[in-house]
A and B are shown apart, each in its own frame.
Chain A
Amino acid sequence: SQTIHQWPATLVQPVGSPLSLECTVEGTSNPNLYWYRQAAGRGLQLLFYSVGIGQISSEVPQNLSASRPQDRQFILSSKKLLLSDSGFYLCALKGQGTEAFFGQGTRLTVV
Chain B
Amino acid sequence: EPEVTQTPSHQVTQMGQEVILRCVPISNHLYFYWYRQILGQKVEFLVSFYNNEISEKSEIFDDQFSVERPDGSNFTLKIRSTKLEDSAMYFCASSDELAGAAGDTQYFGPGTRLTVL
On whether the two chains bind one another, the answer is no
| B interface with A by C-beta (< 8 Å) | none
| A interface with B by C-beta (< 8 Å) | none
